[in-house]
Chain A
């Protein structure tokens, strides 16, 4: 395997130090890689791609003909994270989720944080994702954000930053699990004995989290996954999670509210449902409560929810805490509720709703990344340095018209990981989305979804924009590393 030419100029590379030598966390992997015969990596990559297609591991892309499924893009070379660093990330994520839960609960109940002047109330109360319907409600166990996906990036300086919190219906965990499976299938010899922290118990943890938060007093609660249906971009994930947990995957039309409870239509009549892991946005959950034209949800679901007879995960209204303007305050939020400094820093963020900061943003549009506060999936973002003057002018106008809806951040240089491009390993930018479960305890999956921008120099990692993915290895320190196993002759599998 040739990698002599591998160089990641001016950017932090996760595998190789600037002197060209592998970092400690990647040393053993690189050593094994070098024993592979020429072409073997490419063969395995092809085998993995064929497997993904046969197994129907896909995602849907909007804006194409209905039912357009694309095979999940996967790159064989893993992102490797050292145990000590991960321990810090894990603690940082637990801290963050704990604080955000307190915050959401406070927003919908006492609003102490406003009264104490830590976060301006008009900022939070003007958020499009605030749900007035949730005021005065307290979910079982006080958990609002059961499932969170936090986007992390590593900048040039080597520091890991939180880029955004996804507190509504974060996607991607099924691909993490499938990527690992694929790695074991196609790269067994390299994977073997590498002392990688296991992630295979995620489904069990998720089920436990959901059941932990069932309405009190139910001895054997029934959980389901609620999907908008097969045309949703994450439909594969919905089926995967339901299958792995062994619960029903339901659509809105499978559910009905009768006698104050939610039921599902079965071949033997109605059956009560206690916990709904919903993968439908707030707006579409209940046409009687939110959007009247929605056909995806269940009429009167929110009545049952507010009566405490069904648990929704995540709770409606959690989006208020992943509004990108609120994001800017998360370090203060952590300090306020936990009395601790944030372990994982935020990316420096300018709020356009604050006059001084807005002026700075407008004056430096060619240096900043400007983001709408409420979009997800990379929509509406202006990459200042790469944008045309016309694009910047348009964004400036949008900012002046509605400053609350915009934030700006410095242009970061995402770290790179070696990626198979043709016959060679090339540096490609990555981010990382670990998944956090919050029930009676807070569980952080070791690793997460590493997304990779496949085009040279690109930092756009979204799969809908042509991004790929990698397995993420969190190494366990202190485990004896067994001797290098014999390598095969480079044949398939």
Chain B
């Protein structure tokens, strides 16, 4: 398939997944703060941390009040990671490759964008954001379902899945990273009762509570981390996402298991196998935050390699090579001079 089309397919599904995750964060936090009476400003701040946009947020909004955070995350068109921006980017990507998508998929995306745009114009949407969040989640599910059911499971579909899974792995890792520490009792509180409500909310934000209970029963921080990071069967767990993403990558390249044919596959394989042979104890000993930080860096490198291996055009590569050979010549000359 065309490199440009692959690029757009990949990003379109990343944006949809991103919008879905933001909706999840909002929904769960809203429910969590509903019953509280004290000033809860700081309880909205972690949401902004989770999306990684604290800097632009603080610059433009200042205090992380409920209203500010909801506006920033949902309908702020200047925030590239807001739901409305994600929906617009997804639609714009889809529009440039409309010919490669089944009509029903395009139509759903189109409706999704209109729904978000209409909701943004209704001032009451954010007073009670649950319904809006649910519609965003459902739209995302509908798109996944529509692509699964109407699109050939060929290259384009695998790029779609690849984008979605990498985005999801990234977002789950951010949830775990930010929320885990907020929820862990301070050292002097060790032994005090766990805030089960909040831990449940964390799991819920990944729609993971019910599946967690079946797997692990009682809520234990280490097990929650285990479930969200290392579980091989839960579709929002990081490990699951990576396993399936690797599968899609192999389908795209045709490489057999345990081999690689480009940098993207090599990096992905290294990251997956590291995770295959990691236990939650290793992670906790290493430090969860460091582990996730390291994971996110490596995931970014996988993303960069995918872009380089598949989306770069012949012209771009030639231009880069020309530049590189120019540089190496320059270096040679410098070396000659200095010697």
Contact = CB atoms under 8 A, between A and B. Distances in A.
Nearest to B108: A54
A416 B270 CA distance: 70
Contacts, number: 74
A251 B314 contact: no
B291 interface: no
A230 B314 contact: no
A55 B313 contact: no
Interface string B67-98: 00000000000000000000000001001111
A408 B143 CA distance: 54
Contacts of A266: 1-3
Interface stretch (B99-107, B204-212, B226-234): B99-107
Contact of B314 (A242, A243, A258): A258
Contacts of A397: none
A56 B315 contact: no
A230 B96 contact: yes
Interface in B128-165: 155, 159
Nearest to B88: A67
Given A55-B103, A249-B99, A267 B1 contact: yes
A258 B318 CA distance: 12
B101 to A, nearest CB: 8
B314 A55 contact: no
A321 interface: no
Nearest to B102: A243
Contacts of A56: 95, 98, 106-107, 110
A140 B300 CA distance: 49
B1 A243 contact: no
Contacts of A258: 314
A248 B110 contact: no
Nearest to A299: B315
B2 A243 contact: no
Contacts of A267: 1-3, 6, 155, 159, 252, 310-311
A56 B92 CA distance: 12
Contacts of B314: 256, 258, 263, 265, 269-270
Contacts of B111: 54
A254 B311 CA distance: 11
Interface centre among B6, B311, B315 (most CB of A within 10 A): B315
A53 interface: yes
Interface in A226-268: 229-230, 235, 238-240, 242-243, 248-251, 253-254, 256, 258, 263-267
B213 interface: no
Given A56-B106, A267-B252, A239 B99 contact: yes
A239 B110 CA distance: 15
Interface in B288-313: 310-311, 313
Contacts of A238: 99
The residue in A67, A230, A254, A270 that gathers the most chain B C-beta atoms within 10 A of its C-beta is: A254
Interface residues of B, number: 27
Grouping DSSP codes into helix (H, G, I), strand (E, B) and loop, the B interface class, with mixed when no group exceeds half, is: helix
B114 interface: yes
A265 B99 contact: no
Given A254-B2, A254-B3, A267-B1, A55 B96 contact: no
Given A56-B106, A267-B155, A267-B252, A250 B98 contact: no
Nearest to B312: A265
Nearest to A250: B2
B48 interface: no
Contacts of B155: 267
A243 B99 contact: yes
A226 B22 CA distance: 37
Contacts of B310: 267
Contact of A254 (B4, B95, B98): B4
Nearest to B111: A54
B5 interface: yes
Contact of A243 (B98, B107, B114, B313): B98
Given A56-B106, A265-B4, A267-B6, A253 B315 contact: yes
Contacts of B2: 248, 250, 254, 264-267
A225 B100 CA distance: 13
Interface in A263-304: 263-267, 269-270
B3 A55 contact: no
B6 A55 contact: no
A258 B317 CA distance: 14
Contact of A54 (B4, B107, B315): B107
A55 B110 contact: yes
**Most B Cβ at <10 Å: residue of A242, A249, A253:** A249
Interface in B1-21: 1-6
Nearest to A241: B99
Most buried by A among B98, B100, B310, B315: B98
Nearest to B155: A267
B77 to A, nearest CB: 13
Contacts of B107: 54-56
4 closest residue pairs by CB, A with B: A242-B99, A243-B99, A239-B98, A265-B313
Given A263-B314, A267-B252, 19 more contacts: A53-B114, A54-B107, A54-B111, A54-B114, A55-B103, A55-B110, A56-B110, A229-B96, A230-B95, A238-B99, A240-B98, A240-B99, A243-B100, A248-B2, A248-B5, A256-B313, A265-B4, A267-B6, A267-B310
Interface of B: 1-6, 92, 95-100, 103, 106-107, 110-111, 114, 155, 159, 252, 310-311, 313-315
25 contacts: A54-B110, A54-B114, A55-B107, A55-B110, A56-B98, A56-B106, A67-B92, A225-B99, A230-B95, A239-B95, A243-B103, A248-B1, A248-B2, A253-B313, A256-B313, A258-B314, A263-B314, A265-B2, A265-B3, A265-B4, A266-B1, A267-B2, A267-B159, A267-B252, A267-B311
